[in-house]
Amino acid sequence: MIPEILYEDNHLIVVNKPPGMLVHGDKTGDPTLEEAVKAWIKEKYQKPGNVFARAVHRLDRPVSGAVLIGKTSKGHTRMAKLFRDREVDKVYWALTARCPSPAAGAVRQFLTKDNEDNVVSWHDEPVPDSKEAFTEYRLLGEVNGLFLIELHPQTGRSHQLRVLMRSKRCPIAGDLKYNGRKISSPHAILLHARELSFEHPVKQERIHIIAPLPDLPEWKGAE
């Protein structure tokens, strides 16, 4: 079954990924978002043979929210270039048990990844094999005893936002890998890809997408 569709045209489709679902296949062999979209397109449009549907970016498995998928190779290639050129505005929401200090700011870090353990470390200065990450953030308020943080990543590094909040001593709730507190779902962390905005690469019009929050008790009342 395909997750909620937020936008669709001849070239692109944006879906609201639930927490716990893979975007791409991995060694688990579990069902993926790409597979679900392909099956849905094939059935809806009665397409024979193979169907093209390729995610332009990805979200970590426990993260929810908007994922943009190319329905054509042209759409995928052009959107991938917009992401690489940082011409896609991305907004994430996170819930944390502690309030960041200061309550708003812009943070530049240099990240290194341990691929064996799938853990990312942060550094204040460049180190060998590090990648620069830049994020703006601000406190929006409180929800169910947690702090609602809005995050604007300017880069797209692995675990960028998760590591940022850990470095601010306010890890994302549910993110046990980075010292977050437990939540109601063992398959989720309370990080949600809330908005995507971009100039459509074919239609040449501005697209703005908002992804509704997951049905988890911690998110109740946040919208």
Active site residues: 60
213 is written with which tokens? 């929050």
Specify whether the CB–CB gap between 122 and 163 falls below 8 A. yes
Rounded to whole angstroms, how far apart are CA atoms 113 and 98? 25
